[in-house]
Structure formats: C-alpha cells, structure tokens
Structure 1
Amino acid sequence: MKAHDTLTPFEQEEHQLKIGNKTLSQIEMLVGSTPYYAYDRAILSKTVISLKETLPERISLHYAIKANPYPPLVNFMRPLVSGFDVASAKEMLLAIQSGMSPNEISFAGPGKTEDDIRAAIVAGITLHAESTTEIQRAVNIGKQLSIKPNIAIRINPAFELKASGMKMAGGAKPFGIDEEQIPGILAELDYQMLNFRGFHIYAGSQNLKVEAIIEMHQKTFALAERLVSITPVQIDYINIGGGLGIPYFAGETRLNLAPVADNLATLIAQHSSLFDIELIMELGRYLVGEAGVYVSKVVDIKASRETTYAVCDGGLHHHLANSGNFGQVIRKNYPVAVGNKMDLQSADTETVTVVGPLCTPLDIIADKVQLPALEIGDYIAVYQSGAYGASASPQSFLSQPELSEILL
C-alpha cells in the first residue's frame, strides 16, 4: 500500500498531537467537546510567507475565501495577502469587515443576484462578470445608484488545466465568458459607465503536476497579452487563477514550486505588454488546507464479520470531502492518525474502518486503515482539513450536534 506524503509537521506533547501549541485534549476543553476543526496560525503564516518568497515579486497573492470562510481565519489572513476573492454576499461582508481594502476584493461566481451586485457596487469591490447579462445589470444598477461599477471579465479560456481536481475551463462551462466572445464584448462596452479593471482567467484547481501548471501559465499569459491588445482602456490587473494543489491521498507528493516560479519569472520577462498590470494569483486550499485538522472521538468499537469498526462522534456531516462525497469518483482515505497515541503510530497496528454516527454507509472517515489499537475515547485526527471542510459539509444532516472551529 502506498504511503501518504510527509505531512505538515504539527508538534506533539505527551503522546498527543498539538495544534497551535495546544494538545487535542486542551483544545477539547477550550471548545467544549468534539468534533472540532482546529487551525494553526503558525502553519498558515509559514505557508504564505514561503510561497511569497518562492514566487516572482510581480505576483500578488489573493486568498479565495470560499476555501475556508471561518471569520477568525479570514481576519488572520488579511495582512498576509494582498487581496481577497469572494463568491457570495456573505463572504463579501467577511472580507470588508476584515479591513481589506474594497479595491483589493473581487466577487466571482455565476448567478449573482441584483442584490449581490448592488451590495458590491455600494461597497466598491470589483465584480468578476460571468455573462453579458451580468455586465448590463451592473451598469443599470450603477446608474440607479449614481456609482460607476468596478468590473472585470471572467474568461472561459479554450484551454483547461490538465490533471486538475476540478476543471473550471475549456469547452462548455457555466463559468465566465468564452474567450472567442470577448472581442465583440470589449468593442461594445460603454467605458464611460463603468470602471473596467481587467480579466480573470481561471482554468482549474487542485493540481500537483508541474508540467500541467507550467503549460496553463504559458497559455494564460499568451491569452492575457491578446486581451490587453484589444482592450481600448488601460486595465489594472490580470487574475491568472490558482490551481496549485496539496497532497491528500496515498501516492501523491507535494507540488515542486521552484520550476513553476521559474516559469512565471520567464513569462513575466517575455510579456512586456503586461509590465504595468498587476498580476494576481488567487489561491484557496493551497494557503489553508494543510493548516487544519478535523478531530472526532471514538464512541464505540464493534466487529462485524471480520471487520473492526470504530464509530466516532463526527463524520461526513462535518467533513464531506473526507468521506469521499465531494467530487471523488473512487473514495480514497485522507491521512489520519490517533491523536492521543502519536508515539505509537509506527508500533503494532490493526486494520480498522473508522466511521461516523450517521445511519448511512457513506459516512466513512477512513476505510481499512492501519492504526494503533483503538479504544473508546481516542481522538481521530484527519489532516489536510483546512479547506472545504466545515463550510462545505451538510452540518444539518440528520440534525446532529454542531461542531466547533478554533484558530490557535
């Protein structure tokens, strides 16, 4: 069986995993009970700082709040990054209340309502328009408010990010406007009625293939240069998307950022027409995914026809992605550990399937994993849980108790 790649080094103390300098039992005392998500400030900072040191200086880093909208985490990220991307009016309020400049907040996503657009215009943030209808709505609402809307166009490029977890572009997609439609749209825009800020080119997410990311960046810069050449006004920025992945499953390895950064530096030097334009890289899970751990507690252990089950007080209703029901075709295990037996992880183990409390066979935390002998009361820690966890899960399913989140 393939092993999981080396994980983010959380500390240990007295057999227990530590997050933000607190043991799991101490965190339970702080939040009141399991299950909970705990996020480590030091790892968040280290991830962002390391990325900034690796990427060319010309690249501005924006955090996509959709990855984890926990308010204390959003507030913590504000001084670490240059801007935020939001995908809803609620995320927009989080971004504004964090103190981020409205000029550095963008609002993406298809299907924005008139209320969404109105709020964005009043706030002064930039709408990443996903259709000509949305552009016209923004212009009309801007007229009503006597405020010029800030608008950038999200592009659906003809290319995709190969081998990505989710393909967001290429072919028919509900996201953005097809690149071949852009020349006609730019020719017809009334630039007196809006502040046209730039373009958003997002091809895919969760990618660990250096060659695929380099190819995407090459195509993105070529497209950006073509777009700039046909835009009749000076633009402020090009958002080149994200796509950088983190390893979740056995056999996956960390993304080697060095060649990606070197290629970006080469592209920046080659495309002189983009010299006066801000280049934004928008990332979510890459910035926060490894800083979070989901912790539940074993409440029962049972055997069924030669299979040992450990039943926990948390499960898919809190961590849908870990259960395999958030886009996986074939379910794979996230890296897990017995959080109060960290010194025994490589000792004698047993094969066990860890499940949640829900009455559905989909509620799996870890299937047929090797773990130290489990006891009722043990902590099950799921790593790589800082992104698309609590907010991406059906927490009301079966009316189970709510979980807690904490930033340490």
Structure 2
Amino acid sequence: MNKIADYIQTAKLESDKPFCAFLYDLDHLRAHVQARVDSMPANTRYFYAIKANSELPILRALAPIVHGFEVASIGEVRKVRSVSQDTPIIFGGPGKSDEELIGALEHNVSLIHVESMHELRRLNELCAKRDTVMPILLRVNLRGPLPTATLAMGGRPTQFGIDEMQIAEAIQLAKSLPHVKLEGFHLHSLSNNLNAAEHVKLVKYYIERIKGWAAEHDLELSYLNAGGGIGVNYADLEDQFDWDLFVGGLQPMLEANLPENMTVLFECGRYNTASCGYYAVEVLDIKENHGKTYAIIRGGTQHFRLPVSWQHNHPFVVVPSERWEYGFERKGVEDQQLTVVGQLCTPKDVLASDVTVPNLRIGDVILFLYAGAYGWSISHHDFLSHPHPDHIYLGGDDHV
C-alpha cells in the first residue's frame, strides 16, 4: 500500500483538481493470482470471472496466469478476445440471447453453461444451422442443504440454473440433441464464502451429486464447474479466506472422490482482484448536521457502489496531504466519529457510516481498500454527470 500512498501524495502536489481515482497494483494482482494457480491440485483449472473487474489492463495482467476466463455476456466475450484470441472462455449467466449464443460459437467459447431447457433447445438449433456441436455444462440449482454465504444462487428459488428436481428431464433432453455435447455440470451455488473447510465440503457435495447423476443416466463426464464463491472479508481485512487450508483439504478430498478423467473448474472473481484495487477520493468538506459529522468526498457511490449495495462500512485509511492554498484555517477532526458521503443528491450516497478516524482534514485523501472488485464495474457512472475518476494501473503500461 505504500506505493499507492506515495503516488497519491505526489499527484496531489502536481495537480490543482481534487484527487479522485481507482488505483490498481498489478504486481500484487499477478503475485496473488499466480500463487493460487500454482497451489491448485493437478486435476483442477482456475478461471477468472471477469464480472468482478473486466478492465482490459486487469485482463492483460491475468491472461498469462489463469487457465482461462469466465464470462456472462457477449460483451465480456469480446473483451476477452481483444486480449487473447485463444485463451479458453466459459460462458454462463441466465437469459442468453440468440446473438450471444451465436457469438459464443463465432468466438470459439470452450463451454457454455446452459441455464434452462429452452436455452438448450435454442442452442442446439443454432448449432445445427452451422453444422457444429457445442460442448455444454448444465447449470443446476441444487436443493441443498448448502453452506451460508453473503449471496445465494442455489438452494432456494433464484433465476439461476435448472431446478434439481428437473435434472433427469434436462439430462435426457441434452442426450437426445445431436448438436450439443453434455460434458458435465455447473453447480455454482453461493458467493462470498469465508469458510475454507466448508468450501472443501461443498465441492465434495457437488462431486457426490454429479456422480449419482452419471450413474443413473450412464454419463461420461469431463467437467465439474464448482463456481467461484470464495469470499473477501471487508469487515476484518486481517481475517481472510484461508487459502492454504482450502487447497490442503481439497487435494486429498479430490483424490478420494473425484472420478478419473474429470477436471474441476473454479471461476473466482472477487477473490482475485479485490485486494489489488483502491478507490482514492479527496475530502471536499467536513460539516456537522443534526449532531453528526460528515466528510464529503470528491466522488461517491456513482463510482463505488459496493458499500451501499452490500450495506457495509467499507474499510479505508487516510492519506494526509499538506497542500492547502486557502487563506483561512483548514478544518479537521481528531478521534471523532463521522460518516463518509459522496456528492450525490441522495441520502443513500454513503460509503462508511459512524466510523471513528484518528485524524482527517479537508484536502486529505480517503483511500478505500479492497476496491478492486465490483467497484467501478457495477456503479451508475453518469448519475448527476459528475466527472469520472481516473484509472491508474501501477506495474503496467496503462493509465487512463
């Protein structure tokens, strides 16, 4: 983090405009993801789910490291292909249009995760017109029980996948269609799981389910997509998902339970990029209102929607700046509880509420940590038409 703070302090001395930027440490990103890939068991593959952050410098940094990319739209397919023409792509998400399915064929997508029987029939027909066969995984919404996590895509009614109660019908349909090849199943059921031991148990549960289906329906399967779902602890940055415990338990579990010639795919997003990113915003004002203190920043949830989306106080540190060019006294607070808000005309524009800071002055920079995933990519950028933040990539050639 020191090089991020140094960059901000230098930039503050060189520019008159209030500082507002996403900054990414690409060296950290590469090292973090490379360590994960290197430690995975041999019968697994590690993909990056680009929905977490699909900026091209991020994709370029990860392309030589991960085994491929997971996408959820034709736009994401095109982004990946602008970076690499041959890296494997797996394509999921509900509600794929004909344009997207055709685009997947044209861009040599490796696997399509089919989300419904209607989508399965449409894909077969589109492939027939092109005289090709598409490898697929059936996405299944399991009945559970499943571990608890921040977000659940399975184990309850959602728009994701085929209800497990209908899986026999879906398998028979897939086997009957000549232009799709059923290679396995996609069972991504939850997101932001912080319990490494439970995640090993979850993968074991997935294996047990697909082995039962394979035996019942005489299937030869190549892949289990166990999804991502590995989380980030924003409440306590020192207590993160125990990766070593996870892979240490995964290896023997797979040796004991995974059928021969089957590969387990993981498609992590947030876990890969969150820690490499920062959202840095200058404090424009500090004011009191109805007994509460507010720090108003140059920016807000139109840039960084994650805190209000997840309804949490996002962790931050203060980067002090000694630049002060006004002729009056600079306002600040010490050891005081305050709420960090943006520039939007809505009381919901809150990034951290009722947090105590040791020292903060107008003109200092608040640096939000772990902002590399689901930050800029999910935000409503043009609400009120405020300027966009800069995007700065340290350790790379890109600076937008």
TM-score of the pair, normalised by structure 1: 0.86
Decide whether the 8 Å contact of 2:283 with 2:295 is kept in 1: yes
* SS of corresponding position for 2:159: coil
1:299–1:341: structure 2 CA closer, same or farther, 3 Å change rule? closer
The counterpart of 2:288, out of the listed 295, 303, 321, is 303
2:103 is equivalent to residue 116 of structure 1: no
Residue in structure 1 matching 2:186, options 200, 208, 221:
200
* Equivalent in the alignment of 1:17: 5
2:72 is aligned, of 82, 87, 108, to: 87
SS in 1 for 2:300: coil
* Structure 2 residue aligned with 1:106: 90
Identify if the C-alpha distance between structure 1 residues 203 and 24 changes in structure 2 by more than 3 Å, giving closer, same or farther: farther
Counterpart-to-counterpart distance in 2, 1:263 and 1:192: 39
Deviation at 1:24, TM superposition (A): 5.0
| Deviation (angstroms), 1:278 | 1.8
Do residues 135 (structure 1) and 120 (structure 2) align? yes
Contact 1:354 1:366 in 2 (8 A): yes
CA contact (8 A) 1:38 1:294 kept: yes
Kindly state the Cα deviation for residue 368 of structure 1 after the two structures are TM-superposed: 2.0
Aligned twin of 2:364? 378
Taking the aligned partners of 1:238 and 1:129, their CA distance within structure 2 comes to 13
**1:333 pairs with 2:313:** yes
Partner secondary structure for residue 63 of structure 2: helix
Structure 1 letter corresponding to 2:101: I
- Write the distance in 2 (CA, Å) between the matches of 1:114 and 1:258: 42
Report the Cα offset of residue 272 of structure 1: 4.7
- Pairing partner for 1:35 from 16, 20, 23: 20
Aligned twin of 2:81: 96
Cα drift, residue 96 of structure 1? 1.6
Q: 2:173 aligns with which of 182, 188, 209?
A: 188
- Say if 1:34 and 1:226 are closer, same or farther in 2 by CA, change over 3 A: farther
Summarize deviations over 1:268-312 as a string: whole Å, max 9, x none: 111252x21221111000000111001111111222233222111
Aligned positions of 1:214-363 closer than 5 A: 214-230=200-216, 232=218, 234-250=220-236, 253-273=239-259, 275-322=260-307, 324=308, 326=309, 328=310, 331-340=311-320, 349-363=335-349
CA contact (8 A) 2:270 2:373 kept: yes
Q: Which residue of 1 aligns with 2:398?
A: none
CA separation in 2, counterparts of 1:215 and 1:59? 16
Per-residue CA deviations over 1:197-218 (Å, capped at 9, x if unaligned) read 3221101010112343233122
3-state SS, counterpart of residue 366 of structure 1? strand
Q: CA deviation at 1:138?
A: 0.7
- Ranges in structure 2 where 5+ consecutive residues have no aligned partner: 323-332, 395-400
Q: Deviations along 1:138-192, whole A, 9 cap, x unmatched? A: 1111122223223221111122542211011013221111223222222233353
**Residue matched to 2:397:** none
Structure 1 residues 341 and 217: CA distance shift in structure 2, 3 A: farther
Alpha-carbon contact 1:62-1:85 (below 8 Å) kept: yes
Residue 245 of structure 1 deviates from its aligned partner by 0.9
Native 8 Å contact 1:39 1:292 kept in 2: yes
For residues 118 and 130 of structure 2, the distance between their equivalents in structure 1, rounded to whole angstroms, comes to 18
Structure 1 residues 307-359: Cα deviation after superposition (integer angstroms, max 9, x where no partner):
2221111111111112x2x1x3xx331111112369xxxx9533222211111
For residues 314 and 160 of structure 1, what CA distance do their matches in structure 2 show?
42
| Counterparts in 2 of 1:338 and 1:252: CA distance versus 1, 3 Å | closer
Q: Is the 8 A contact 1:124 1:149 kept in 2?
A: no
How many residues end up aligned between the 2 structures?
A: 381
Residues 64 and 160 (structure 1), Cα distance of their counterparts in 2 relative to 1, 3 Å cut: farther
**8 A Cα contact 2:139 2:186, kept in partner:** yes
Q: Distance in 2 between matches of 1:313 and 1:380?
A: 10
Stretch moving more, 129-138 or 201-210: 201-210
**Could you tell me whether the CA contact under 8 Å between 1:214 and 1:260 is conserved in 2?**
yes
CA contact 2:197–2:249 (8 Å) conserved in 1: no
**Structure 2 length normalisation: TM-score?**
0.88
Q: Specify the code of the residue in structure 1 equivalent to 2:78.
A: L
In the alignment, structure 1 segments of 5+ residues that lack a partner are 1-9
Asked whether the 8 Å contact 1:300–1:311 carries over to 2, the reply is: yes
Indicate how the Cα distance of structure 1 residues 44 and 287 shifts in structure 2: closer, same or farther if over 3 A, else same: same
Give 1:231 deviation, angstroms. Answer: 5.4
Letter of the structure 2 residue corresponding to residue 337 of structure 1:
V
Aligned to 1:3: none
The farther-off stretch of 142-151 and 35-44 is 142-151
Judge conservation of contact 1:340–1:378 (CA < 8 Å) in 2: yes
What SS class does the counterpart of residue 360 from structure 2 fall into?
coil
